[in-house]
Amino acid sequence: MAMSPYSPLAESVPTQERILVIYTGGTIGMQQHADGLAPGGDFTIRMATALNQLPLAQQQSLPPYEVISYTTLIDSSAATPLTWQQIARDINDQLTAYAGFVIIHGTDTLSWTAASLAYQLQGLDRPVVVTGSMRPLESPGSDALDNLQGALQFAAKPMLQEVAIYFAGQLLRGSRAIKQHSEAANAFASPNYPLLGERVGDDFIYYLSRGLGLQQRGAPRFELPDYRLVNQGEIVRIALWPGITAWQLEAWLSDSRVKGALLQLWGAGNLPNAANLLDVLARASGEGKLLAAISLCPQGSVHLGAYAAGHGLSDAGVLAGDDMTPEAAFTKLAHLLAQPLTLEDQRQRFLTSLVGER
């Protein structure tokens, strides 16, 4: 990584009062080349140039900041659990030196990274705001400048004590967000939890009563397990489709390399009325595999057994994910399976809200 201080006020402000911007890659930093958009360098200077286009009063309200750029920029579509681990450990290493953090990330898996960071940085006592853009920084009509400005503003609010996403004027809980649109500027949503904050005119308003900050006690209790243990496909994600059969489900779950699975069921938690499907699930659970279920619907919650079509899932050892997003449920499975916990501890912690994810 390369660190480049670059803020008009940075030199005159103690480090502990600055924001650290960690640039990992993504569309926001891409530039047009002969063969199309490709990662571009010099992001520190380019970011400062963009922020200098803001009205003077808005420039003056920005917090001082420094920038770290990853030597190898990450295409977020190629991100892995090791990517999540690297970012969390970099924040941990710099934690006491900065008042808050902005993580600049590609949008494709931005919500996955945010959810994972929330579990790794439990007990966080300062802001970590993840952002990016749908269009490159220098493109006409880009959303990048607005997102950078908002992320910096919220990263300077000490009352915000969790991982959040700032995008298109909205501050979302990191463990509650999904990417809902592949092209629109308002690409992210929080389907089952209200906004943590938003931009209103030139003001950036944080809704304190919706945040985790009021609940924090004592020093951060970060959990930074070795994600290499869940980086080779040990957790699978299976979304139901009409006609799914037991042999297809078994092909995934009987593999000895699989340690856990996220099932996405219909409606409130239904699956086809076939006993052999439940048999496969019960056998996998009996082998010590961590199985959890959420709904295919982006809004609402699962209630295993509410309908006859979902009866037997709990008996088969499947854990209800309530109203969790796929990102939050999957990264939680990864986080728990990367730790030396008993199966019962893993199951209990999955059913417990750790960072406001359920």
Helices (H), the chain: 43-51, 56-60, 81-94, 110-120, 144-155, 246-253, 275-286, 326-337, 343-350
Q: How far is CA 171 from CA 20, 204, 220, 288, in A?
A: 18, 9, 22, 38
Coil vs helix vs strand at 276: helix
In the block, residue with structure tokens 């003056």: 60
In the set 27, 44, 83, 325, the catalytic residue is: 27
Q: Check if the beta carbon of residue 37 is closer than 8 Å to that of residue 134.
A: no
In the block, residue with structure tokens 């009205």: 55
Question: Does the annotation count 44 as an active-site position?
Answer: no
Burial 237-276 (b: 16+ CB within 10 A, else e): ebebeeeeebeebbeebeeeebbbbbbbbbebbbbeeeee
260's tokens: 């856990």
229's tokens: 């243990």
The side-by-side arrangement of strands in the sheet containing 260-265 is 235-239, 260-265, 290-295, 319-320
As a whole number of angstroms, the distance between CA 105 and CA 70 comes to 11
Q: Is the dihedral of CA 352, 354, 356, 358 positive or negative?
A: negative
Q: Check if the beta carbon of residue 178 is closer than 8 Å to that of residue 145.
A: no
Angle (CA) 54-207-22 rounded to 5° is: 50
Coil vs helix vs strand at 60: helix
Q: How far is CA 74 from CA 22, 86, 113, 143, 242, in A?
A: 12, 11, 12, 20, 36
Residues marked active site are found at 27
